[in-house]
Amino acid sequence: MPAPSRQNLRRLQFINALFAHVTNHDLYFADQIKGAITFSLTELEAQTALHPEFAAKYDTEFNAAAALLLAKLFTHLPKRGFFHWDAALTSTASTPLFARAELMTGLKHLARYREATLLVTNLRPALIPPTRRATPRRQRDYEEALAFIRDLAAARTSRSTNLQLLFL
């Protein structure tokens, strides 16, 4: 059996971390979930094999499918809150003003839960586009956005809440 590629291992670890409450950190179960997600993206995976430049699109679609699956899972767990914010949803979504508004909406939604997960996706591609250079200014903006989100979540979450903050 050939060794798994770096991307497959990254996706497996991602699924294992994202669905830890389901898999109990068992890589076999995480691989089953990853297989279900990749099965739903079979056509795009075939296109990626023919055109390696589609790899970024495949990663984006894989992350979106995993986030959608996680959101569906959390709807069946009434005691756990879940909110997903996609920073690349619009061209201005990752700017501090709009990010704060979106995140405050999510944190207000999560306030009633003792266990909650806040999933932030596409922050890095929104601030450091893959087609452009990662300049020091873009890198600084990304680091500041990460710190801003962490600080906002810490300030707007009660001490009794166990909030998991995930960045993809």
pLDDT tens-digit series, residues 32-82: 888 888 888 888 777 777 777 777 777 878 888 888 888 788 777 778 888
The reply to whether 63 and 103 lie within a common domain is no
DSSP reduced 3-state for 114: coil
Domain check: are 162 and 95 in the same one?
yes
The Cα–Cα gap between 134 and 86 comes to 20
Q: Is the pLDDT of residue 1 over 70?
A: no
Shared domain check, 47 and 8: yes
The count of other CB atoms within 10 Å of the CB of residue 99 is 21
Contacts of 4 (CB under 8 A, 6+ apart): 12
Residues 71 and 94 in one domain: no
- What are 28-45's pLDDT values in tens digits? 888 888 888 888 888 877
71 with 85, same domain: the answer is no
Provide the percentage of residues in the chain whose pLDDT is more than 70. Answer: 97
In terms of domains, do 97 and 52 share one?
no
Residue 43 domain boundaries: 1-76
Q: Give the pTM.
A: 0.73
Tokens of 82: 């879940």
Name which residue leads in pLDDT, 157 or 39: 157
Tokens for 81, please give them: 């809150």
Count of other CB atoms within 10 angstroms of residue 168: 21
CA angle 62, 22, 74 (to 5 degrees): 70
139-149 per-position pLDDT tens digit: 999 999 999 99
pLDDT at 78: 73
How far is it, in rounded angstroms, from Cα 30 to Cα 16? Answer: 5
Per the prediction, the chain carries an average pLDDT of 84
Integer Cα distance of 162 and 158 in angstroms: 9
Q: What is the mean pLDDT of residues 9-32?
A: 83
- Give residue 92's pLDDT band: very low, low, confident or very high (50, 70, 90): confident
- Can you read off the two tokens belonging to residue 18? 């994202």
Number of domains forming the structure of the chain: 2
* Co-location of 62 and 43 in the same domain: yes
Arithmetic mean of pLDDT, 111-132: 87
Q: In the prediction, which pLDDT does 152 show?
A: 94
